Structure 1
């Protein structure tokens, strides 16, 4: 007895969320919203890192506050696990939408160009791809280094200042950190502008202002993240 193929669900039978996700506009909106969540975390993380300039007590106390927040309602470190779960969902949504949009764009032009022009759009797309790979690899290293302490020379949980100083006294770690943060800056510059455009904020009349804002935010975040490792490397933070 031959098995009958199950027909695909017609678009009108899908839920509103399903129709939104299946559309290009919906996927771009998901990328924009998930990217905004990740951007907020990046800014908060950078501000927390800058407490290293205020001394050991400041940054270690901040780390303890994050782990103890919400007790006894939340378990020790409960807030951090809530944040990590939200970030994992945002990253999964962001990457899934990005991959599906890239595949959809390739299907839209199956025949390759004989001579592909070097346009700004293709440059930005290439930057986002390799930047995303560098950032993903660095996040894995960063978690093993300063979160789990496995790759850190000091590696004592709660002693954030000592871990940072032990880490960034090594020039090659600072170099790797710099490459990752610069890649993050490029990713943010294009991502902020694209996200605002997907959400309808970056209209033609506001395009220049939005681009300047995206550049300013990405430069500020890049400088903020790089200030701590270089301050340790040159003995300003010790």
Structure 2
């Protein structure tokens, strides 16, 4: 085994290493959420704008861009979940507190269920990929193959069970995010007593923006506001 491989193994096996992986992958996922939501909100502009956005994504870098993004995001998500689970198991076994700083001694409800919400979100991501990317539904596949991403999204959310699962998953995601956003700054050493309040406010505002934005789409479809 090479020296670089040994260093990576040692880094991953350490608590600090896993926390760093969770923070960095979390930062990637936080950025993705904002970008993904921005694109999704184009559905309110109209079919042409939304379909052009979808077309741009699939033709970016001659079609390679979307696959690069998918690989990076899925790798980040898996590493994030695995590292979080291993940290949780290790912390419970050793009965150590997750953070030593006074600002994070009192764990919020979100932090106590991070592992479960994370697994639920992972299951949702897999379902979401099967639903809108792989398109296991023949009707959605036909719409997608015809380049009508706008109608594909609307048709998908016309299903009450699908929309309900989507809303539940987004709510769990935001519950996870409400703790994780601040924890990223804590782990990377960017959170101090002076800026803790500001970071917490930004985390709450960002979480609310993400929740309202994503949840509004299935609600709008079911209510008949977009069709």
TM norm. shorter chain > 0.5: yes
> Is 1:32 the counterpart of 2:41 in the alignment?
no
Instruction: Figure out how many residues of one structure are paired with residues of the other and give that number.
Output: 215
Q: Distance in 1 between matches of 2:169 and 2:60?
A: 30
Give the match for residue 53 of structure 2: 62
1:51 aligned partner: 42
Which range moved further: 139-148 or 182-191? 139-148
Distance (Å, rounded) in 2 between the aligned partners of 1:166 and 1:14: 47
Q: CA deviation at 1:153?
A: 4.3
Aligned 1:91-106 pairs, distance under 5 A? 91-106=77-92
Question: Counterpart of 2:118?
Answer: 132
Counterpart secondary structure, 1:205: coil
Once the two structures are TM-superposed, the CA of residue 40 in structure 1 deviates from its matched residue by: 1.2
1:195: which partner in 2?
A: 184
Question: Aligned equivalents of 1:14 and 1:175: distance in 2?
Answer: 44
- Aligned equivalent of 1:232: 221
Deviates more, 1:77-86 or 1:90-99: 90-99
What displacement does 1:120 show? 4.6
2:155 to 159, 163, 166: 166
Q: CA deviation at 1:166?
A: 1.0
SS in 2 for 1:237: coil
Aligned to 2:107: 121
TM-aligned CA deviation for residue 87 of structure 1: 1.2
Q: Partner of 1:84 in structure 2? A: 70
Question: Structure 1: any 5+ residue segments left out of the alignment?
Answer: 1-12, 72-76, 111-118
Q: Distance in 1 between matches of 2:140 and 2:110?
A: 39
The answer to which structure has the higher helix fraction is 2
The superposition leaves residues 136-171 of structure 1 with CA deviations (integer Å, 9 ceiling, x where unpaired) of: 121121111111221374332232111111122233
CA drift at 1:99? 2.0
The answer as to whether partners of 1:146 and 1:152 remain within 8 angstroms in 2 is: no
How big is each residue's C-alpha offset from its partner over 1:74-98, in whole Å with a ceiling of 9 and x where there is no partner?
xxx3111111111122123212221
